[in-house]
Chains A and B, each alone.
Chain A
Amino acid sequence: MTVPARPLPPRGAARVGRPGLILGGALVGAVFLAALLSLVWTPHDPVAIDIPARFLPPSAEHWLGTDQFGRDVASQLLVGARNSVLVALLAVGIGGSLGAALGLWASAMGGWVEEAVMRLADFGFAFPALLFAIMLAAVFGPSLTNAVLAIAFINVPIFARVARGSANLIQRMDYVMAARAAGRSRTAIALAHVLPNVSAVLMVQATIEFAVAILAEAALSYLGLGVQPPTPSWGRMLSEAQTLLYLHPGLAVWPGLCIVAAVIGFNMLGDGLRDWADPRLRHAR
């Protein structure tokens, strides 16, 4: 009688049980779910002004109450999630792809190209996203697009460094040498052999940068440099709530909690994924 071979546990199974990865995944899942849900349904119209219904306490009708214009807070938070996710996706997507492409290119070319790209990346760190957003706002006026561009900008040097660092390790592998010996071009090797092998690292980085992007979007919107009224955003809800702090302090609590939950979620998920993807780290801890 043969005993059926037990399938090997999936890679990193030991870590999947980690509370961090699960909690992070759950929080991130909730944020994405809220963002998607807001596309098709919100309890109330998030921008509908209803003055008689101002400052209502939480109830079955308005789960988290209403704000100074009688707008439903819960509905605004849902749409706020959508905006946060949208800005983060676009900013990390654009900045990350551009940075990763630059990093891969630098690694593939080597020599002075690599040096030049990396020096440019160094210089990129001199510009915090806020300064860039301020410049764009001064020139074009504040807008969501400017916020996305500014956050994307700071992602370029980060991803360029990470991609180049990981790619340089792959470049020394035998299969890359073999491909080179077979006469494949640098671009072909970078796309066919290097990119698939650095993508995991890039994904982990993207998860962590997502958290940074959500924080940056909140700060920019709080300052009026991001999502413009009347579109709800967590950051702007806080700046509106600040003026009502003496009378209705509760309004300043919910948007902040949403930001913290989303950021913790992405940070935990990123850390968890990194541990899971890198077996060396699993033993090092």
Chain B
Amino acid sequence: MPDRSYLGEFELMLLLAVAHLGDEAYGVPISRELEKQRGRDVSVGSVYAALERLESKGLVVSSLGDPTPERGGKAKRYFRITKQGLRQVRETRRVLTRMWQAIPDPKLES
């Protein structure tokens, strides 16, 4: 049975960031991308918590990279959006677009 739940704002942003970054999607660039788009600081812990939630839903998958000295020997954790995740993003966009289109322009202006 397909999952009909819609994504929250932060989750949608995360999925889009992960999809945008492709093979280089790990904690630091994802946080930077969110900071750049939102224009404010992001807690890396929150980013990981939300990504783990998405992973448990099967919308992203993760893998461990090689440890590097500049990271204190800690490995990077790469994320990738799954087919289900992409479907969910498209579905959310479709719903949001339809709702946006249903609102008359004057209301948005005020």
To the question of whether A and B form a pair in one complex, the answer is: no
B interface residue numbers (CB < 8 A to A): none
A interface residue numbers (CB < 8 A to B): none
